[in-house]
Amino acid sequence: MSDHKNIDAGAAPPSAEDLRKQVLEREMEEMERERKLKTIEEQKHADFAADFLKKHVTEEEIAMVRRLVANAVKAGKFEAMVYSFPSELCTDSGRAINSGDRDWPSTLQGKAKEFFERYQTYGKPQGYKLKAMIINFPGGMPGDVGLFLNWAPDKA
C-alpha cells in the first residue's frame, strides 16, 4: 500500500518502450544470474570428477560409510546408500548398472572402483552385499549412481 503514496498521479506514465526496456533488463539480469550459477555448478562438477578419477578413497570417506551404516542400523534398516556419483563417470555412462548387467563392476572407475575393491576385500567376506542403481533420471537419462551396502539375512 505504501507504493501508492510515492506515485505522482499527475505525472505522465512511463512509455511502453521504457516498460519493455525494464522487462528486458530484468530478464537479462536473471539470465546472467543463471549463467553464473551454471558456471559454478559446472566447476563443482569438474572438481568432483577430477577428485573422483584421480584421488584415492580417504579415511574420512571410509568413516562416512561406517557412519551411514551405523545410522541405518539404528533406524532398523538392513541397507544404506553409502556412495553416489554421476553415472557419466562410469566407462559406459551407467548403462550396465541401469540394465542390471552382472558385469557392471567392470564399468567403475576412480573412487567407485576403489570402493568396490574394498567391498570385495572387506565387505563381501563379512557377509555384506553391494548393489549399484541409477538413483535419478534427469531429462529421462541416467543421472547418479548409488552404491548400496546390504546386510540383510539371506532369504530361505
pLDDT per residue rounded down to tens, the chain (156 residues): 555 677 888 888 889 999 999 999 999 999 999 999 999 888 888 887 888 888 889 999 999 999 999 999 999 999 999 999 999 999 999 999 999 999 999 999 999 999 999 999 999 999 999 999 999 999 988 999 999 999 999 886
| Amino acid letter for position 29 | E
Q: What pLDDT score does 49 carry?
A: 80
Please state, in angstroms and rounded to a whole number, the distance separating the CA atoms of residues 150 and 153. 9
Question: Considering the entire predicted model, what is its pTM?
Answer: 0.72
Q: What pLDDT score does 11 carry?
A: 85
Please state, in angstroms and rounded to a whole number, the distance separating the CA atoms of residues 83 and 49. 14
Identify the CA nearest to 112 among candidates 143, 139, 144. Answer: 144
Q: What pLDDT score does 75 carry?
A: 97
- Name the DSSP class of 55: S
Cβ atoms within 10 Å, residue 106: 13
Estimate the share of the chain in helix, then strand, then coil, as percent rounded to the nearest 5. 60, 15, 30
